[in-house]
Every structure is written in structure tokens, then in C-alpha cells.
Amino acid sequence: MDFLTLFAIYVVVVVTCIVLVCKYSGQQQTPFSILLNSVGKVIAPITPKWLQNLSQRTLHRLFHQRNNMFIYLHILLEVAVYAEFTYEVFGFCREMDTTLISLSVPYILLLIKSVFFYLCIKRDPGTVTKKKVAGQIHVYPYDRKLFHPGTTCPTCQLLKPARSKHCRVCNRCVQRFDHHCVWVNNCIGAQNTRYFLLYLFSVCAMAGDIAVLTADMLLHAVLRSGLMMASYIDEYGDKQLAGLMFVVQHLFLTFPRVVFMLGFLVFVFFLLAGYALFHFYLAVVNQTSNEWYKSRGYVCQHCHPGTGTADDPRHPAPDHSKRYYYSRGVLRNIREIFLPPQPGHKKDK
């Protein structure tokens, strides 16, 4: 089995695993959890007790407690990509007379991304506190479908504002809760969603730009070498023209790190581009990931129009029959993301 076949099998397995993870995410019983439990029951009798406890504590700390592990992993992957780009691609592109302005764009994007990344990490997402809860309750009306007035968080012992949720990882309620992101070790909520969106788009731009420059470098390397017009003698002694597969295999052997970096960047770009577009869509319709997940399968005709809110009966609530209850139009929805309403100030209707 040649190198290309092994690499193709590896890519198929990785992509299949990612698709299955996306498909079954959020479900209590998944093929992964069932398989993991089955394997655990088989190896438990032969596994030392201390090793079982250590693995359980490690997994709990990694996925159920705040930690900076994924932040360090993020930085490590970034350093590896930029080191390879600077060490091999940058110099080759300069030989191809690529302008310094074009080659400086990835570093400018890295600086921009780092600012938004830092803000995602450090910015308070909108924690519900005793001092702020009175004002936060009046920011959004209750839809009486996903969010009901008078509900108290059993952990925080505070009234839950509409669109808020208690994060088990951070152990706090967050206003307009979207999700907890392990890559920034923080919740994404009312006060930092804009930074998260800009972070996603800047990472996509960064990965896409480096991928384009790297692909251009490899293309020029092939054209300069004349591989497309070359020929070789196959195992039967016949003369064969070098086709696309021969060129790809040659690039793997000549620039192995560059090719793997390019494959990684293309994968990251499409993965994050889809994720970024999904969150941009949620911003356009004024919905959070938490609300989108909870409202899946909801049939709009089962809703009934509301006449007011419990916190302000004088102000009519939006129509409950709308699929997107909190949507106020595209421009107002986008403005709410980048200029979020502050506690004590009612959201612009």
C-alpha cells in the first residue's frame, strides 16, 4: 500500500469521525458513549484502581472544569503553522517575486485575530449577579416557551433573566447564553459574542490566506520543475507521462511538512467557515446556539400570540407565532450583537 493510499484512508477516517461527532453531539446516548462504556466495562477488572481514578479526574478536569489546556493547544498549533510558513513558504515566495505586502497579510491577520482571541478570553460574557440581575431581567421579554418568568436558578439562587442559562463549567448564569467555548476557556454570551464572531472570521481569513500563498508556492514549484511534462518508467518498463497523481506524490516527498500544513489549513478553513457562517446566521435572526438547539423540532403553529410580558405588561411582547421570537430585523439584530443592551437599559424594540 503506497503513501497516498494510506493518507487517503487517514483523511477519510478523520472526516468520518468528525461527521459522527457533529451528528450525535448533545445527545445523552451516542455510539461513542455506548462504545466507551462497553470498553470501560471490559478493561475495568484489569485496570488498576489508581489509574481509573486518575483518568476520570483528568477527563473531568479537561471537559467539565475551566482550564487553559485548549488555549495552549490553540497557541501551539498556531506557532507550528506560522513557523513552517515563515521557514519554508515565505522564502520560496520571495524567490517567486511575491510582494512583501502580500506576504505580510498573514501576520497582520494574526495580530487582529490575537486581539479578538484575547477579548474572548478576558471579556465577561454577561454574568448574572445579585447587583445586575434586577436590570438584566428587563433586557429581554420572556417568550414563555423556552424562558418563563419567575424561574430561579437552583445553583445561583437568582432569578433567571430571559435567554440566560447556567454554565456548569464556569458555574455561573450568563445573560444571552450561547455556549461554553473550550478554545477560549470562557462562555460566549451577551457581552462577548461580537468578539467571538470577529475571532472566527479572522481565523478563517488567516487560514485561507496562508493556504492560498502555500498553494501558489507549490504550483510554482511544479511549473518550474517541469513535472507536468516529465515522464517515467513504470514497473513494467513502459514509459509513462507524469500525471496528477505522480505530481502530488512528488510534492509529498519533496515538501512533506508544507503539504501537511496546507491540508491542515484547508480543513480548518472549511470547518471554521461553516461554523462562523452558522453563528453569523444566528446573529442575523437573533438566536443563540442554546436557543437553536432547544427549539429544534418546534412547530410554529403550536405557538400562540402573546399580549404582554410579566416584567412589563404595558409593553406588548413580540408575536409568539414567529419562529424567531427575539428577531427585530436584520439591522437591529446585528446592532444588538455589536452594541449589546446593558443591564438596566431595556432592549430597543
Q: Alpha-carbon distance 7 to 20, whole Å? A: 20
Domain extent listing, the chain: 34-64, 68-349
DSSP string, 158-180: SBPPTT-EEETTTTEEETT--EE
Phi, psi of 190 (to 5 degrees): -60, -40
Helix 69-84 to helix 100-122 angle, to the nearest 10 degrees?
Answer: 180
DSSP-based three-state secondary structure for 283: helix
User: Would you state the cell numbers that stand for residue 89, as one nine-digit string?
Assistant: 513558504
Place of cell 450525535: 24
pTM above 0.85, yes or no: no
181 is catalytic: yes
Cβ–Cβ < 8 Å for 299, 309:
no
Q: What is the pLDDT of residues 174-232, one digit of tens each?
A: 999 999 998 999 999 999 999 999 999 999 999 999 999 999 999 888 877 776 666 66
Of the candidates 181, 187, 204, 300, the residue annotated as catalytic is 181
Query: Distances from the Cα of 224 to the Cαs of 19, 219, 251, 258, in angstroms?
Result: 39, 9, 13, 17
Q: Alpha-carbon distance 193 to 85, whole Å? A: 31
Q: What is the pLDDT of residues 90-134, one digit of tens each?
A: 988 888 888 999 999 999 999 999 999 999 999 999 999 999 999
Q: Within its chain, how far is the Cα of 231 from the centroid?
A: 45
pLDDT per residue of the chain (349 residues) written in tens, 0 to 9: 455 565 666 666 656 655 554 544 444 444 544 555 666 667 767 777 766 666 666 655 555 667 888 899 899 999 999 999 999 999 888 888 889 999 999 999 999 999 999 999 999 999 999 999 999 999 999 998 899 999 999 999 999 999 999 998 899 999 999 999 989 999 999 999 999 999 999 999 999 999 999 999 998 888 777 766 666 666 677 666 666 677 777 777 788 888 889 988 998 899 899 999 999 999 999 999 999 988 875 544 333 333 344 444 434 444 444 678 999 999 999 999 999 988 765 555 5
Q: Within its chain, how far is the Cα of 279 from the centroid?
A: 9
